A and B are shown apart, each in its own frame.
Chain A
Amino acid sequence: MKIRDIMMDGLFRQNPTLKLVLGVCSTLALTTSAFDSFGMGIAVTFVLVCSNVIVSLLRNVIPDKVRIPAFVLVIATFVTIVQLFLRKYVNALYASFGVFLPLIVVNCIILGRAEGFASKNKVGFAALDGLFMGLGYTWAMVLIGGIREILGYGTFFGIKLWDFTIDFFASQAGAFFTYGIVIALFVLVWNAIERSQKLKKASANDAPVVEEQKEEN
């Protein structure tokens, strides 16, 4: 039961991008294409899982007063690993991430989960939480990145769809606009689902929510 809660929290209920609105900088900056969004999502998921595991393992060792610097140091180590890996093997992503690759360190989702979840829970749960929070971030990134790439460049994951483009969606202003609208729609849909769930009074059965959310994607 707890695993299902962690899953639902990460993907929808506490979605870091759409519900908690954390880690906004990278979301706005890298959603110009679906591929970059996906790459960033995976990079953040990797760092989240690793840092959650380490923080959870060390939760009884790290003194309370220096816990934030300690968490940041753990996160910075994994970000350096990602940086070195991408520079060597996936140079296209390394180039398009630019300054936002080192900035994963200060992505508030990661520090937030280390402080709010991993430092209080067992390793297995912490790893799962990292995984599903990361995947929640990833699907939201790809959704926003997809919308902006399709409307702004007429392509999706680099595949040409049509010649019609609206430059606004590729610009900085378009990033704010698309993100704002997507949050509003997510809140609207999510509230409607929760209301219909309450009416059904089938509180134990979470399955319909998962299905409806997937259709919306």
Chain B
Amino acid sequence: MNILPIILAAVLSNNFVLIQFLGICPFLGVSQKVDSALGMGIAVTFVMVLTCLVTYPIYNYVLVPLGLAYLEIIVFIFVIASLVQILEMVLKKFIPALYSSMGIYLPLITTNCAILGVAELVLTETLVTGLFEAVLYGLFAGVGFTLAIVLLAGLREKLDKLPLAKCLKGFPATMIASCFMAMAFYAFSLI
């Protein structure tokens, strides 16, 4: 069991957003406020766990034995899109409170590359040897995403008050803030 190495790698030293550059669009797009960043983070984590739970067995027990591994991209994106759709319907029907806080982020998640990324990466990650590790990896990759997006949202709330040159406002300032965060997370991989 590689539980601790998986947790540390997924959250810190191989952080999905800042080290592997996955899920940058929501990272930049939904990080204006800490609340919405947290909501997005939780929604992404949830879908990541479900994705790993479904795509890992499909790839290893269906596509590979049938010799259809080359269809992985099409199958994965289809599974993710349906999963998000089903999740949206289930939440709407049974847990309306959660739906009202998480629902607006769900449609965005289908095209979030962190989700398809996690489905692809669990297949090649050497630490992952079974379904349990795959789900664990998905869970903590989501935690790492949440950590990064919430930290950035906190920074941006401060950043907006700074007197910056007009051309630096918005994306450039956010990028440079992310640059310093990436340096901090990079330090974890040196340990």
Contacts and interface: CB of A to CB of B under 8 A. Distances in A.
**Does B bind A?**
yes
A145 B25 CA distance: 20
Interface in A56-91: 68-69, 72-73, 76-77, 79-80, 83-84
Interface in B140-191: 165, 167-168, 171-176, 178-180, 182-183, 185-186
Contacts of A80: 70-71, 73-74
Q: Is the interface of B mostly helix, strand, loop or mixed?
A: helix
Interface string B16-30: 001111111100100
Given A103-B117, A183-B171, A187-B167, A28 B21 contact: yes
Contacts of A3: none
B180 A173 contact: yes
Given A24-B28, A29-B20, A72-B77, A176 B182 contact: yes
Interface stretch (A6-14, A104-112, A130-138): A104-112
Interface of B: 18-25, 28, 70-74, 76-78, 81, 110-113, 115-117, 120-121, 124, 165, 167-168, 171-176, 178-180, 182-183, 185-186
Contacts of A176: 175-176, 178-179, 182
A175 B24 CA distance: 12
A76 B175 contact: no
Contacts of A29: 20-21
A72 B84 CA distance: 14
A164 interface: no
Given A24-B25, A103-B113, 14 more contacts: A24-B21, A25-B23, A72-B110, A76-B77, A102-B72, A103-B22, A106-B110, A106-B113, A172-B19, A172-B21, A172-B182, A177-B175, A177-B179, A180-B172
B19 to A, nearest CB: 6
A210 interface: no
B18 A25 contact: no
Given A21-B171, A106-B116, A173-B186, A77 B74 contact: yes
B179 A184 contact: no
A96 to B, nearest CB: 14
A108 to B, nearest CB: 6
Chain A CB within 10 A, most for which of B21, B23, B70, B111: B21
A180 B171 contact: yes
Interface of A: 21-22, 24-26, 28-29, 68-69, 72-73, 76-77, 79-80, 83-84, 99, 102-103, 105-108, 111, 171-177, 179-181, 183-185, 187-188, 191
B33 to A, nearest CB: 19
A72 to B, nearest CB: 6
Nearest to A80: B73
Contacts of A183: 171-172, 175
A25 B21 contact: yes
B187 to A, nearest CB: 10
Given A76-B73, A172-B19, A172-B186, A180 B117 contact: no
B168 A184 contact: yes
Contacts of A24: 21, 24-25, 28
A180 B177 CA distance: 9
A50 to B, nearest CB: 15
B175 A99 contact: no
20 contacts: A24-B25, A28-B21, A69-B81, A72-B81, A76-B78, A99-B20, A99-B22, A99-B121, A103-B120, A106-B112, A106-B113, A171-B183, A172-B185, A173-B179, A174-B179, A180-B172, A180-B176, A183-B171, A184-B167, A184-B168
